[in-house]
Structure 1
């Protein structure tokens, strides 16, 4: 490089330095303003964050309260449905039980007539119709004769020594037992072999 070029570079460098010196206070001032603005923004943002956290907590509490209320309502709905079903079944049981004695009497009446008698046939038809109605209502006879004695279904009113029957076997039924679904309406009164 020539001396002339060096002088030009030197002048350019000096001009740049003087411009930088003049701009330095302005840049420092600008940087300070930016810092203040950033600090103010940070303070506003921090306040907003605190507010957002408070709102988020309020929302979470409200959501929790809503979920608990929804679960409580669902439990209430299920409980009332169960109670309604129990009340219905209890009313059904209370209605059916007295008719079982009527059926017993009809069956006793059938046995009083000889086979082929018109009265017997009429009573047999009534008994059959009665049993069909009970079946539609989900009432079933408890199997007893020849079955092993079950204290959950049978009521042993007599015991007998019987060589031909197995031990704890029902050998005679005095009164039929009935169930409604899985509930016992009436236990079967039976005689059990020892």
Structure 2
């Protein structure tokens, strides 16, 4: 037989097998043929994909934990700062009342003013600021209206008197300003 005839002659057992594996993935072909190396390779690929997924999930969980811990730390600092400032606000109120009183002793008055200035500086350094009130529009998020007065000389919902100063740190109100509102 010539070489051309040998090429044209097809083994009848191989022909159906070649038709079966056409268009079939190598993994599926490995399962059909029972090749243990390809089956083990497929198992290892699946295990690797599972381990990679577990690793990515663990990394995401750790990142979330780190962010949550940082927020909790910042929140604890802000809360402790606000509680400490709240404890000093009665001292602020008493110094404010002392400044409003008339006195003949200039040294005494100067000492109270210096103490008040120093307390305001400490509060400012801590990021605690006084809530503006007098002449401002009433805002229930920052002000506590304890009195109401009718006065045509000022606009509606305008604060005409401050009984007690309010303070905040950032967006958190430490103490609401106690005010009198017109109209």
* Structure 1 and Structure 2 fold alike (TM over 0.5): yes
Sort the TM-score into its range (normalised by shorter chain). 0.7 to 0.9
Please tell me the root mean square deviation across aligned C-alpha atoms, in Å: 2.4
Q: What pairs with 1:178-189 in structure 2 (closer than 5 Å)?
A: 178-189=167-178
- Which one has the largest radius of gyration? 1
**Cα distance in 2 between the residues matched to 1:129 and 1:46:** 85
Tell me how far 1:79 sits from its aligned partner. 0.7
Count of aligned pairs between the two proteins:
160
SS state at 1:159 partner: strand
SS state at 1:191 partner: strand
Tell me how far 1:113 sits from its aligned partner. 3.1
Tell me how far 1:180 sits from its aligned partner. 0.8
Q: How big is each residue's C-alpha offset from its partner over 1:115-158, in whole Å with a ceiling of 9 and x where there is no partner?
A: 88221111001101110110000000000000000000000000
Q: What pairs with 1:36-47 in structure 2 (closer than 5 Å)?
A: 46-47=35-36
Mapped pair 1:99 → 2:88: yes
Structure 1: gaps spanning 5 or more residues:
1-16, 21-26, 36-41
TM-score, with length taken from structure 2? 0.80
Q: 2:125 aligns with which of 136, 149, 160?
A: 136
Structure showing the higher helix proportion among its residues: 1
* Larger RCO (alpha carbons 8 Å, 6+ apart): 2
Conserved in 2, the CA contact under 8 Å of 1:113 and 1:119? no
2:18 aligned residue: none
Structure 2: gaps spanning 5 or more residues:
15-29
Q: What pairs with 1:1-194 in structure 2 (closer than 5 Å)?
A: 46-114=35-103, 117-194=106-183
Q: How big is each residue's C-alpha offset from its partner over 1:34-75, in whole Å with a ceiling of 9 and x where there is no partner?
A: x9xxxxxx8989322211111010000000000000100111
Moved more, 180-189 or 47-56: 47-56
